[in-house]
Amino acid sequence: MINKFSSLLFIIFLISCQNKPDKKKESTIKDKDGNVSEYAVDFTPLTTVYKKKTADDLEIFFNEKFNTKDFSGSFLVAKNGEILYENYSGYAYKEKDIKITAETPIHLASVSKVITAVTVLKLVDEGKLKLDDFVTTILPEFPHKETTVRMLLNHRSGLRNYAYFTDDKGVWDKKKPLTNQDVLRLLATKDIGLESKPGSRFGYCNTNYALLALVIEKVTKKTYPQVLQEKIFDPLGMKHTFVFDNLENKEKVSQSYKNNYLRLAFEFLDQVYGDKNIYSTPRDLLQFDLALYSEKFLSKKMKAEMFKGYSYERKGTKNYGLGIRMLEFETGQKYFFHNGWWHGNTASYVTLQKDSVTLIAISNKFSRKPYQTKRLAPRFGDYPFEFNDEEGE
């Protein structure tokens, strides 16, 4: 009888321990020196049972939707700052047999825009510029007087994409690497024109963020890579994150591939940053995402500006904030994310702010699989999706 009673107590104790919060929290942000960051936020620790069950489900999802035999890249899911599941597979540089690990930076493509936007918003918090400043007050050579910083951030400037107008006859010699300053100079000296009147409609355009990088440089009197290092990467301990700004270093970074592992060559557009050209890892991006919950990192006012829609000229769920895409459902629920696609690099960053969930997938071998991360959203909250396997950026 005593033995049975003791066994029962042990079982109850074991179950109780499994359902208690796990004391080994991963949610504390540490800076580059390993000290707890001033932007650290405390979340409710997850239970051991929850983590184990969710991790098992996520592994099944990953094996069904990604398949490590074909996928080359990184995948991570976290809640309350705690990593529930992560997977790394494929090659950063196949020809040199360099495999992708948790510490391998991969090109984020347009997910870079989120970091650029947050940097601008931090500068607004610091009083170094205003969202409704005219771009000409910062970059005097910019030719469109009605365009504001906010319009660059929410893609309502009406500008043409530099990747397209540099194709126009006589605009640019493609044998020469294009820089951000070149983009501005071409807008100022060539008859590039506008797609639409500034502020009149949404038009996703990389030129906006190439110019925002110049805005950052002008108001700080430092280079874009320096500013991001000082304001984002170092304070958040993002040790494996950097800005690629020199084509001479192309052999030192993870490469880009077609879906058959045919390596894609770097080209004249690959030196422009702000809209792309940040290399990072899911663990580093998780640190960035966690900081967005801290009002010391980004003020409540700026966060509200970032996570609201600005484009309602067309009915629908799709919208864009300041550096973040969103889906606004009739239920009132909002889904925040940003996808990316540059050469063979595809990426998806999802931040479920209401549920404190982070979903990240990055690939350097062309695949639309990273965009399927949104299939996980209904597992963490009320997101009424209709899924499409062929969804692009």
pLDDT top residue among 176 and 25:
176
Residue 81: band (very low, low, confident or very high) from pLDDT cuts 50, 70, 90:
very high
The position carrying tokens 């990192």 is 297
Element (H, E) at 84: strand 82-89
CA–CA gap between residue 328 and residue 307 (Å, rounded): 11
pTM: 0.92
CA–CA gap between residue 272 and residue 268 (Å, rounded): 9
What digits encode the pLDDT tens for the residues 306-337?
Answer: 999 999 999 999 999 999 999 999 989 999 99
Q: Is the dihedral of CA 277, 281, 284, 288 positive or negative?
A: positive
Q: Is the dihedral of CA 262, 266, 269, 273 positive or negative?
A: positive
pLDDT top residue among 24 and 114:
114
pLDDT at 26: 52
pLDDT at 7: 45
Burial of 156 (0-12, 13-18, 19+ CB in 10 A): buried
Write the CATH number of the domain with boundaries 26-379: 3.40.710.10
The two most distant CA atoms of the chain are separated, in Å, by: 93
What digits encode the pLDDT tens for the residues 88-103?
Answer: 999 999 999 999 999 9
Task: Look at residues 83, 116, 101, 204 and name the one whose alpha carbon lies nearest to residue 155.
Answer: 204
CA–CA gap between residue 75 and residue 281 (Å, rounded): 9
CA–CA gap between residue 123 and residue 95 (Å, rounded): 42
Residue 67: band (very low, low, confident or very high) from pLDDT cuts 50, 70, 90:
confident
Question: In this structure, what DSSP letter does residue 198 have?
Answer: T
CA–CA gap between residue 201 and residue 197 (Å, rounded): 8
Q: Is the dihedral of CA 138, 142, 146, 147 positive or negative?
A: negative
Question: In this structure, what DSSP letter does residue 57 have?
Answer: H
What digits encode the pLDDT tens for the residues 188-221?
Answer: 999 999 999 999 999 999 999 999 999 999 999 9
Give all strands of the β-sheet with 82-89 in edge-to-edge order: 82-89, 73-79, 357-363, 345-352, 334-342, 325-328, 318-320
Asked if the model's pLDDT at residue 287 lies above 50, the reply is: yes
142: its two tokens:
């910019």
pLDDT at 390: 56
HEC states along 233-289?
A: HCCCCCCCCEECCCHHHHHHCCCCECCCCCECCCCCCCCCCCCCCEEECHHHHHHHH
Give residue 155's Cα distance to chain centre. 16
What proportion of the chain, given as a percentage, has pLDDT over 70?
Answer: 92
CA–CA gap between residue 211 and residue 8 (Å, rounded): 67
330: its two tokens:
């009739």
What digits encode the pLDDT tens for the residues 9-60?
Answer: 344 344 444 455 445 545 579 999 999 999 999 999 999 999 999 999 999 9
